[in-house]
Amino acid sequence: MAALATQSIAQGLPIAPLLPGARLKPDREEMIPVPGGRAYVRINGDLAGPRPPIVMIHGGPGSSHWYFLNGTALADERAVILYDQLDSGRSDTPGDPANWHVPRFLAELEAIRAALKIARWHVLGASWGGTIALEYAATRPPSLASAIIQSPLVSTRLWMRDANRLRARMPAAIRRTLDACDQPGAADGPGCEAAMDAFYARHIRMFDPPAEIAAYKAAMPRSFSPDIYHHLWGWAEFSASGTLRDYDGTPLLAKLDGPRTLFVTGQHDEALPATIAGFARKVKGATFREVPDAAHSIMNDNPVAYVALLRDWMARHDG
């Protein structure tokens, strides 16, 4: 969960590519009223075009839309909608924990669809955004052309099981540091950032973002909101002490429209491919794809393969 939320970026990583056709500047941007405030929404491409648009839901909780920028290359064939959840990125920041619960985040997504007058759309959610996409798709809204559920939190119990398995594979010295840092208030202790970076370089983000995207991120008023992350998830990568600590969305799998559901994970993802493939098998007719040479931040690590996968998937489910 912290994968797309934290601000630590391992030093010395190779640089990810900027896709030809990626659009750093929006064609249109709005502050759209949602429950609790206004959400920042940016659009590239034509919402009135012949193909349903795609909306991309960021993770965290508390991250922002910047790491989806390579996905705007899809705007050559359909509109691409990126937005920041309330209290994140460029959205309003009321700072009220009463807004930080799953039903409100679902209502936020639907408020954006209604405000933009979108009849049908593809919904992609990554990490914590994958949780929102799962919850949304399970309601079978008539507006849903397809759901792309990427590296999702489906069960906190299983997420923690996998996180601990990956931590156990780290070198002993790093593992000891991670254990020491995995306590409330200890995440800023000696060596914690370096140990986290080592884990992140394996399973979170294998490449640093290209300079253009890094500059875009740096210019945002906030790219990560720790209060939301701490409230919903916890204090550190490997502990779930927040309100999602008992989250279990596995019963929702049976409610999905399988033929219109794509589960995605990265080859080296902290959302382990075997676990995500197992969720897909529980959904009759669902599709699972593993993106090679990518960790949790798939759109950053291997945007060429991911965008190609999305183009093919959506073209087959536009109708």
Reported as a single tens digit per residue, the pLDDT across 244-269 is 999 999 999 999 999 999 999 999 99
Type of residue numbered 90: R
Size (the chain), residues? 319
Given 58, 65, 296, 317, which residue is catalytic?
296
How distant, in Å, are the alpha carbons of 7, 49, 309 from that of 318? 36, 12, 14
Domains of the chain: total: 1
Percent of the chain with pLDDT over 70: 97
Reported as a single tens digit per residue, the pLDDT across 51-89 is 999 999 999 999 999 999 999 999 999 999 999 999 999
Q: Quickly state the pLDDT bin for 1 (edges 50, 70, 90).
A: low
pLDDT at 108: 98
Q: Where are the alpha helices (DSSP H) in 63-189?
A: 102-115, 128-137, 156-168, 172-181
* Residue 269 bears catalytic tag: yes
* Residue 127 bears catalytic tag: yes
Q: By residue range, what is the domain housing residue 164?
A: 2-317
Given 64, 127, 146, 297, which residue is catalytic?
127
Bridge partners (DSSP) of residue 265 are 290
Residues 158-168 as b or e (16 or more Cβ within 10 Å = b): bbeebbeebbe
**Which residue from 114, 98, 6, 100 is spatially nearest to 59, judged by alpha carbons?**
6
* 8 Å CB contact between 44 and 79: yes
Given 269, 297, 301, 317, which residue is catalytic?
269
* 8 Å CB contact between 249 and 105: no
The token duo for 312 is: 């093919």
* Residue 101 bears catalytic tag: no
CATH number at residue 43: 3.40.50.1820
